[in-house]
Amino acid sequence: MAKKSMIARDRQRTQIVARFSAKRAALKAVINDRSASAEQIDEAMQKLQKLPRDASPSRQQRRCRVSGRPHAVYRKFGLSRNKLREAVMRGDVPGVVKASW
Spell out the domain ranges in the chain: 1-60, 62-95
The 3-state DSSP class for residue 24 equals helix
Give the range among 30-34, 64-68, 97-101 with minimum mean pLDDT.
Answer: 97-101
Hey, which bits of 1-101 come out as E strands? 73-74, 79-80
- How open is the CA angle 98-7-70, to the nearest 5 degrees? 40
Asked if residues 52 and 17 have their Cβ atoms less than 8 Å apart, the reply is: no
The CATH number fitting domain 62-95, selected from 4.10.830.10, 3.40.630.30, 2.130.10.10, 3.40.640.10: 4.10.830.10
pTM: 0.75
Type of residue found at 69: R
Write the pLDDT tens digit of every residue in 12-33.
999 999 999 999 999 999 999 9
